[in-house]
Chains A and B, each alone.
Chain A
Amino acid sequence: MTDRSPDPRPDIDVVLQTALPDDLPPDVEARLDDQVERFLVNRRYAIRGPVAAVTGWLASVRAYVRGGIAARSLHMAASAALVLCGIALHAAGRPGAFAASVDRVKDPVAVWRAIDRAAVMRCGGAATADLGSPAEFAERVYWQWVPLGSTIDATGTTAVLTFRSPRDGAQYRVEVDRRSMLPRRIVKTLPRGSKPTGGGGAYDAVCRWETPGPESGSTPDRSPSVAR
């Protein structure tokens, strides 16, 4: 009944492989990458704020209220309020505001991904001890540090990103190569009067990176291999 043969390459599988090749065009890949990025940014920043919080609460109330006349009235009231909140969210979430929030985190996302893919990070001074491995550094850039702003220098080759670490209030000025999105120089400054914590004091460090070779592609898939 069941196919327990070694199953080398049945003819129809070959037809499928030939007809549906793995040939994602780079422009489509870039478009889809951008979509993923927008989705993540949207998840993290756009669905926040008091109106969104109220909307979430109303939605949960609406979901739990069932049965009975009083409960049904409450359910209807929650539904009506939910509609109003939806309208308010639309009104508040002007395209400009959303675009600004996307722009604000787009560079940190790109830096995070670039660092995360890097194999080796070599930073001078106290930076290595402070930042740890590329994975640890990437983690901080995206999930722990608060992005304050980003500018592009006059040459157009370097983006300057500033972050604040909520842990010790330290400010990080990260100069990023816009082509590779990897940091070239990191300047850490501590708030006035604060004492250096476990992460160390202020520093100004130049960083060098080793990235996987070009054969791994622009968006390497580092998914673990699945047991066959």
Chain B
Amino acid sequence: MPENPGDAAVAPACSGQDLVSQTVRADRDAEFARLVLCRQSRMLRTIWRVVRDPDLAQDALQDALVTLWRKLPAIARHPNPDAFVLRVCLDAACDQMRAHLRRRRRDVPLDDLAGSNVAQAAAQEPDVRDEVARAIGRLRPPQATAILLRALHEESYETIARALGCSEVTARVHVLHAREKLRIWLSHLHVPREKRRPDDR
């Protein structure tokens, strides 16, 4: 809290990049609350799109909030705080997704592996969402974040680069590699290259 509240800068709420910088002298809690509340809806949706499970979403959100709190000074200096917040949310969501997949792999009972459940499961319609989530979980973290920023949020390569803290060329390479891997792993889910529209690249 500022020493004299009357002198505190009354920041227009959610006013973009100045949002963080203009309250540097104000209470850190206030700064953090503004940072989160102004981006809350996008943060929640970003996390949900990856984890698609209420409990995992809560865990990922908690991780993201803790990370944002810890990195608040860095966010204040960041050239694109929105991209950074988005990246933190995606990282947290992907981490939760990976941990969940690991737990699930570990928890498969031996009986199920040997018994008829496997065959039964294989006979069922494959869960596309699950497969996609698993494939994203297999990507290297920067690749996963880059492809999700590009494919789901349609962010520019410049924004992706700023979010990841790398050059634009590196961001493009991350997206390119992620696409190549996902095309292989999810080859049965998407339209084969030869059947694509001519304007697709």
Chain A residues engaging chain B, CB cutoff 8 angstroms:
1-24, 28-29, 31-33, 35-36, 39-40, 43-44, 113, 116, 132-133, 135-136, 138-139, 142-144, 166-167, 198, 217, 219-224, 226-228
Contacts and interface: CB of A to CB of B under 8 A. Distances in A.
Contacts, number: 177
A57 to B, nearest CB: 17
A221 B42 contact: yes
B101 to A, nearest CB: 15
Contacts of A9: 200
Given A16-B132, A36-B40, A226 B82 contact: yes
Contacts of B154: 228
Contact of B80 (A135, A143, A226): A226
B176 A20 contact: no
B40 A228 contact: no
B11 A36 contact: no
Contact of B13 (A21, A22, A33, A116): A116
Interface string B157-201: 011000000000100110110010011001001110100100111
Contact of B151 (A16, A136, A226): A16
B96 to A, nearest CB: 13
Nearest to B82: A226
Contacts of A36: 36-37, 40, 44, 61, 65
Contacts of A35: 58, 61-62
A223 B14 contact: yes
B39 A32 contact: no
